Amino acid sequence: MTPKERYEKLKEHLKEENPLLVDVIEEYRKLDQLAYDLGFLPKDKTFTSSISWWPLISVLGTFSAGKSSFINEYLGKKVQDTGNQAVDDKFTVICYTSKEETTTLPGVALDADPRFPFYNISKQIEKIDPGERNINRYLQLKAVKSEPLKGKIFIDSPGFDADVQRDITLKITDHIVDLSDLVLIFFDARHPEPGAMRDTLNQLVEIAKSHIDSDKVLYILNQIDTCAKEDNLEEIIGAWQRALSQKGIVSGKFYAIYNESLAKIEHPQIEARLKRKRDEDLAAIEAKIENVVIDRAYRIVKNIESKAKELQLKIPELLKALGGYKRAVLLLDLLVAVGLAGAWYYLKESVSGIPLIVVLIAAFVLLHLFIRSKLRGWYASKMKDMALREAFSKQTKWYRPILLIGAGLGGKKYQERFNRLIQSSKSFIQKLNDQYISMHQSNAQDRA
């Protein structure tokens, strides 16, 4: 997919799901063009693919924890099969569609769609499972018409307790947690003892604990209606919190919920108490989900400023490398010229046929190109920064006059383009502030 095609596809989906960000695409196009001109970005790449445009909410846990039931309830329709046994062995990515019928597509649809943070995930799968390039084995996509789904992506994890592929599934989970804006880890309240956390659930907790941004992880004790007969909700919650504490979980939020449509609670007072707890925690979870949409919008806009400043900082380093390269080439050119001048002095009387000066000029040109090629490769090999290496290689192509290499890179023209992008990013953030404040006030009035 070319950058131009990616821009158009992003605009198409954003108009439907998050129109606030449509105009930002044009600023990314300008950022791409500036990076192309400087050489920091190949023509077939775009910065729009370096960030996720849709926030990802991952729903993890064992097959009995009610993950799929939670997703179905949130979306307002049955999208995922539910049950006490593993019903799916793939990660199911769920996105919005305007079509009435729910559509299920193979994993390859994720690999080529710019909406998803799974863009080119097949490369990651190949790293995890060498030789396995069929992402359909691990991923599938469901497109669902559901208003709560607009502007966000859910991913439901498979039944981890199936031993086949479990290690690979956990490795993919680790990668997905990295990509996610919010991670919901579900526990089953029907197994209240800490020892009930099986090996797989232990590993899920370890994965969550190992990530720096622990605040994005929510721990959810599901199906708390099963404690109605014993009326021991506080004991069950306490047991699970202690279990998490023993695992080293000292941050992240803990919630308790159940599916009201499936609950059968006989005692009215207990039902009222559980419902109050459920409603409070569910509202908090849903607020977290909605907030990631706002947070993601700010990250996308802020990324323009961040990338522009990042490229600005690379220019002095690029100019330094180009300066060293030019000096080395000119010095070796001088030595070659002195050597060829000496050859001309000693051979001018004895060589006949093709004029000696023509031969020596041709030799100088060939040696000059050889020197440039070798020095170009040597300097590039020392650069660990791929963007810097890309720009250096572009600026030192053989047909560029050696004295003009790097000319204008540190000039006013490029600095003005950088400044316009940075200012544009700040202006868009102000627009987001205004629109989200307006939306918040409108929602508050509706609730009142």
And the tokens for 39?
């050489």
Q: What is the mean pLDDT of the chain?
A: 81
Whether 284 is in a domain gets the answer no
Where is the domain boundary, 250, 266, 282? 266
Coil vs helix vs strand at 278:
helix
DSSP 221: E
Band of residue 371 on the pLDDT scale cut at 50, 70, 90: very high
Q: Strand 103-106 and strand 139-144: pairing?
A: antiparallel
Tell me what pLDDT residue 347 has: 79
Q: Please measure the distance between the N-terminal and C-terminal CA atoms of the chain and give it in whole angstroms.
A: 48
pLDDT at 81: 74
Do 86 and 188 reside in the same domain of the chain?
yes
Residue 196 has pLDDT above 60, yes or no: no
User: Quick one: 247 and 352 in the same domain?
Assistant: no
Q: From CA 69, how far away is CA 75, in angstroms rounded? A: 10
Final residue of a domain: which of 206, 240, 266?
266
Helix (H) or strand (E) holding 243: helix 233-246
Tell me which amino acid residue 170 is: L
Q: What is the pLDDT confidence band of residue 135, given thresholds at 50, 70 and 90?
A: confident
Q: How many domains does the chain have?
A: 2
In a domain, 88, yes or no: yes
E runs forming strands in 146-277 = 153-156, 182-188, 217-222, 253-256
> Rounded CA gap, 203 and 197, in Å?
10
What is the distance between the alpha carbons of residues 428 and 303, in angstroms, rounded to a whole number? 11
Q: What is the 3-state secondary structure (H, E, C) of 304-338?
A: HHHHHHHHHHHHHHHHHHHHHHHHHHHHHHHHHHH
pLDDT, tens digit, 9 for 90 and up, residues 112-123: 677 776 655 666
CATH of the domain at 201: 3.40.50.300
- Domain that includes residue 83, residue range: 56-93+143-266
Report which of 237, 282, 238, 235 is spatially closest to residue 258, judged by C-alpha positions: 282
- Which of 331-335, 341-345, 413-417 has the weakest average pLDDT? 341-345
Question: Per the confidence metrics, is the pTM higher than 0.85?
Answer: no
Kindly tell me the burial class for residue 196, based on how many C-beta atoms sit within 10 Å of its own C-beta (0-12, 13-18, 19 or more): middle
Q: Is 427 within the bounds of a domain?
A: no
Same domain, 396 and 329: yes
Q: For residue 398, is it within any domain?
A: yes
Tell me how far apart the alpha carbons of residues 127 and 122 are, in angstroms, rounded to a whole number: 9
Q: Are strands 153-156 and 91-96 parallel, antiparallel or unpaired?
A: antiparallel
For residue 350, is it within any domain? yes
Report, as an integer, the average pLDDT of 78-93: 70
Dihedrals phi, psi of 56, to nearest 5 degrees:
-110, 125
Distance CA 43, CA 35 (A): 9
Q: Which residue has the higher pLDDT, 120 or 45?
A: 45
| Region 274-284 average pLDDT | 89
How many residues does this entry show for the chain?
A: 448
Do 165 and 64 belong together in one domain?
yes
Q: Residue 61: which H helix or E strand, with range?
A: strand 56-61
Residues 324 and 262 in one domain: no
